[in-house]
Structure 1
Amino acid sequence: MGCLGICQAGAYPLHVLCCLLLTYLLNQLDRYILAIVIQPLAQDIQFGERSCLPRENAKQSGASCRNASSQDRCVSLLNENKTQSCQWNYDGSGWEYQVIAGPVFILIYTFTGIFIGFVADTVNRKNFLSASLFLWSLMTLLMGFVKRYWHLLILRFGQGISEAGCTPFAVSLIMDYFPKELRGSAMGFYNWGIYAGYSLSYAVGNYVTRANILGQGWRWSFILSAIPGFIVSVTVLLTVRESPPVKINDDEPKPRVSHRQSIGQKVLHGLRPFTRPSLLLLCAAGSVRNAGGYVWAYNAQLYFNLYHSDADVGRWLSWIPLVGGCIGALSGGFVSDQLVKRSGMYARAWVLVFSQVLAAPFVAGALLLNPPSCFLLLIPANILGSFLYLLTLIVMRWHQELVSAEESRPLLESDSLRGRLTPEGEARKYS
């Protein structure tokens, strides 16, 4: 069932889903805007590595400047008018940037997200989601006023904590607002926020910085990225209900963890599906793939700034992740659904494997070729790479249902339920 099928859930669930999509879009925009403006930011507050960079409006090519390995050699390079064409300046690279892009954000984001995942069903989700959005928008806004590196470090830490509240609360709401047969489409629609927010960060970070509003350059990229978050936060708080007005009744009862259980019991219950080797392998593979994705996302702009300084990065990457990601999310679900009809649920895992293997040569080509070829190769890379998110969630959900069925055997007709959850049963469901 395509994404248009979510309209069958009604106008209000669709409104809620659009609010969640906007929240996720802003989550990705505010997360990655730092990576887009890192070079002018580093030059302004002075941190990181220095290298030879072309001056603005200089006719000397970026390649000539890049070949200068020392400051003396850099400033001695002249253009045809006998004026300096290169400058020795902060380029945005170095361990200081990698710390705020990686550990300071990702580690706290990961561990906070795990904790929030365990309590997401026991608190008022829409209030916490609204508060999370408001807080990370505030952190993003304040980044536009930093004067020192340690200011940025603290705000990035706060951004990681607050952004961790987005997906756990949003997914929990989607599970309540949409019946089982529409949840895959609803999740696919929600995941568009990844590609839209990431693409928008390139548009805002490049063109707003270039516009140099009020002489503040990169600072307005943070400010303009943050302002919509306050509006959407209030909208979520005032218009989204904690529970749907009409209760969703699935065909099959779902055993739920009692809210009276201790945190330790909930942790053990949540870890139960991970006793399966297949799920552990899936998580390990997903971790490696996501690590590569984060490395690319936080260094793509910097890479093109340093090695293809004449290229207009915003012109290409403001739409390629959006178009490629959306096509991949739709086609990945369709292709895997067709294979499930023939081969069962394990077919989704094979689609995951082959899509990531096929994407690798295109990503490598993007690093080896010059513009515009390197950008064009990112289109198939994004299409194939985006298969990962939705299919991984579906496969993990299937494992969770298998474990839940085993735990509920005394209460449910387990033989019948397992017949529907096994690969063969899954295939029969689509036939």
Structure 2
Amino acid sequence: MAFTTFKLFRQARLYSIYVLILLLIAYLLNQLDRYTLPIVAKPVAQDLKYGEKSCMANSSNYYYTNFKDNTSSTITHNCTHLLDDIKLNVTEQEKMCEGNSVLVNYTKNGTTYTNLTDACEWNYDGSGLLYQVIAGPIFTVVYTFAGIPLGLAADRYNRVRILTVCLILWSFCTLMAGFANAYWNLALARMGLGIGEAGCSPMATSIIADYFPEHLRGSALGIYNFGIYTGYSLAFAIGNGVYLAIGWRWVFYIAAIPGFIFGIIIIISVKEPQRGQSNDDNGKTVSGLKKKFQLPLRERVIELLKAFFLSPSVLLLCIAGGVRNGGGYVWALNTELFFETVKEQTKTQISHWMSWIPLVGGSIGAFVGGIISDVFVKKRGPHTRVWVLVISQALAAPFAAGALFFNPPYCYLCLIPSNIIGEMWVGVTLAVLIDVVPVYLRTSAIAVYFFIITNIGGNLNPLVSVIKSSFGGGRTAYEYALLIMYPGLYMLGSVLFLLTLFVLRIDIRRKKQREAEREALFGYGNSDDDDEEITNSSENKSDSDKIQRDL
């Protein structure tokens, strides 16, 4: 990544790099605004009164507020564990929690006290089915379906203007989330957020493709994708810091403001590039690659259906990718709540670790996965990419489980190898898809693939609440639910990736046969559907190899 980044900054035009930086910031804000709610889920639930309740430290208790050392920690621990292993109904749990005195040793004016009344409260903890639904499906379903018309609009209308509108829309919805006074207000804001954010990547990647020549395009997209990990890490740093300083509503306000500023900067300073044109190493505009042939829409849909439902490896790849994506979504949407409720960590402690671990671990994992898969592919063929997927997810799962069951700081440290090894799947899976799908369907196939895995993965997290309830609720049940839905989905994804191996070679042969038939019919076989014509395929390396190397 360092070499390709250096090559990009050395060879690309300065203005193109400027555009790339603005698009990276837009994507960073995209991820920041998406994960703001999970960071402040608990105080939001307490203000808006939704979700599950549990026994916790009474934040208004004098001794909890004024003894910010062993006393407050002891109160938190005792209240959190008060109902462990006690089988009571909800009403009985509430009475026991709020009527119980907590044993704490503290000294005031030379007198030692050992018993605190009203130290615990029965309050909303931010978890439950309503939270999992608003964090996941309410956003994800709207996000994926809105992406379809926005993706089509990217091929016909001014992309810079659409991106600006989308950026301002999702920033406005983030701002409105800060004004929410009821659950349905927050739900509407999340739906609007999904619509706005759906327009980010289709527009940005298309603009990048036209600003950078083919040999720099992968590097540019690799830099753009750093927005995922940077934005997610910033959500912990900004969310926890702002909440502790001035409250949860200001977390949304401050996360939203940069979007309006950069929206104005983008619309004023970024020029809509001519489609199919880019700049060569000398900064000269080179002509767009011409299309010799375009499949009619009906035939294209039929070909796509064949590629996905008559190719077992593609179908398995989508299912495996969706399952593995689900594990990532579940953890991302429950990280803050888990460390607060189960590990009894303060927001300062969580921010100390989570503001950098996803950024470092995820970025290294995506980069290393590409290198490893390319090395094996050169020696043993495309099927070895799948082995990288199988082994990486199987190795990452124990570390993910360690994050659930080890105590701090070891739970945090487990996330470093879990992210490095576990995040290898992102680019490698895409490269496998490119190996299997005919080149003239590549762009459409990638869009369908992301649609499938996002709908599968982004809608699995409500199962956390269902599984937690089936185990009887409480802290331990939450751990078991996440064990199934986090490292458990990693392992299931590994098994499904393994099944892909049994049919991969057959589908690659079918792909080559279909491309040969197309070439025989039309005199060529390597024209893609994003306005590219490759006139001499023997002189070009595998696109999947390029993508992995550049990532």
Q: 2:77 aligns with which of 63, 67, 81?
A: 63
Q: Which residue in 2 is equivalent to 1:343?
A: 380
1:192–1:373: structure 2 CA closer, same or farther, 3 Å change rule? same
What 5-or-longer segments of structure 2 have no aligned partner?
Answer: 65-71, 84-92, 106-112, 281-285, 442-514, 527-533
On the 8 A contact 2:278/2:287 being kept in 1, the answer is no
The worse-fitting range, judged by mean Cα deviation, of 405-414 and 306-315 is 405-414
CA distance in 2, matches of 1:424, 1:14: 23
The question of 1:9 aligning with 2:33 is answered no
The match for 1:353 is 390
Q: Helix, strand or coil: the match of 2:524?
A: coil
Answer whether contact 2:167 2:259 (CA < 8 A) is retained.
yes
The partner residue of 2:344 within 280, 297, 309 is 309
Could you tell me which amino acid in structure 1 is paired with residue 523 of structure 2? Answer: L
**Equivalent in 152, 156, 160 of residue 122 of structure 1:** 156
12-21 or 415-424, which deviates more? 415-424
Q: Deviations over 1:234-292 (max 9, x none)?
A: 2221222221696357999675885x955x56644655643533222221111111111
Corresponding residue of 2:468: none
1:55 Cα deviation from its structure 2 partner:
3.2
Matches within 5 A, 1:160-309: 160-212=194-246, 217-243=247-273, 247-248=278-279, 255=291, 267-268=301-302, 271=305, 273-274=307-308, 275-309=310-344
Q: Secondary structure at the match of 1:309?
A: coil
1:342 to 1:303, Cα distance in 2 relative to 1, 3 A? same
Determine if contact 2:82/2:97 at 8 Å carries over to the other structure. yes
- Match in the other structure for 1:411: 523
Segment drifting more, 47-56 vs 144-153: 47-56
> In the TM superposition, what is the alpha-carbon distance from 1:335 to its structure 2 partner?
2.3
Q: How far has the Cα of 1:371 moved from its partner?
A: 0.7
Question: How many residues align structurally?
Answer: 422
In 2, the alpha carbon distance for the partners of 1:385 and 1:37 equals 26
Residues 193-231 of structure 1 deviation map (CA, whole Å, 9 limit, x = unaligned) = 01000000011111110012xxxx100100000001111
Distance 2:405 2:292 in 1: 51
**1:147 CA displacement:** 0.7
What SS does the corresponding residue of 1:122 show, helix, strand or coil?
coil
**Residues of 2 paired with 1:160 and 1:315: CA distance?**
29
Structure 1 match to 2:56: 53
Report the more deviating stretch, 43-52 or 330-339.
330-339
- What amino acid is aligned across from residue 278 of structure 2 in structure 1? K
* TM-score of the pair, normalised by structure 2: 0.70
Aligned mates of 2:287, 2:317 — CA distance in 1: 28
**Structure 2 matches for 1:324-335, cutoff 5 A?**
324-335=361-372
**C-alpha separation in 2, matches of 1:188 and 1:116:** 22
Which of 397, 403, 407 aligns to 1:366? It is 403
Assess, with a 3 A threshold, how the Cα gap between structure 1 residues 423 and 172 changes in structure 2: closer, same or farther. Answer: closer
Query: Residue 431 of structure 2 corresponds to which residue in structure 1?
Result: 394
1:420: Cα distance to partner? 6.7
* Contact 1:62–1:307 (Cα < 8 Å) also in 2: no
- Partner amino acid, structure 2, of 1:2: T
In 2, the alpha carbon distance for the partners of 1:9 and 1:218 equals: 42
Query: Would the aligned equivalents of 1:74 and 1:88 in 2 still touch at CA under 8 Å?
Result: yes
The structural deviation recorded for 1:398 is 4.2
Which SS does the other structure have where 2:50 is aligned?
coil
The share of aligned pairs that are identical, in percent, is 45
How far is 1:402 from its partner?
A: 3.2
Residue type at the aligned position of 2:131? Y
Secondary structure at the aligned position of 2:127 is classed as coil
Structure 1 length as normaliser, TM-score?
0.88
Query: SS where residue 123 of structure 2 aligns?
Result: strand
SS in structure 1 of the partner of residue 121 of structure 2: strand
2:97 maps to a residue whose letter is C
Letter in 2 for 1:228: P
* C-alpha contact (below 8 Å) 1:118/1:267 kept by paired residues: no
User: How does 1:84-163 map onto structure 2 within 5 Å?
Assistant: 84-163=118-197
Q: Is the 8 A contact 1:402 1:421 kept in 2?
A: no
Q: Which amino acid aligns with 2:391?
A: F
Q: Which residue of 2 aligns with 1:379?
A: 416
Structure 2 CA distance for aligned equivalents of residues 252 and 132 of structure 1: 27
Larger Rg: 2
Q: C-alpha separation between the residues in 1 aligned to 2:396 and 2:14?
A: 37
Of the three residues 65, 70, 77, the one matched with 2:101 is 77
Residue 171 to residue 332, structure 1, CA distance change in 2 (3 Å): same
Structure 1 pair 426–199 and aligned structure 2 pair: CA distance change class (3 A): closer
Q: Is the 1:132–1:166 contact (alpha carbons within 8 Å) kept by the matching residues of 2? A: yes
In structure 1, what is the equivalent of residue 469 of structure 2?
A: none
Residue identity in the other structure for 1:6: L
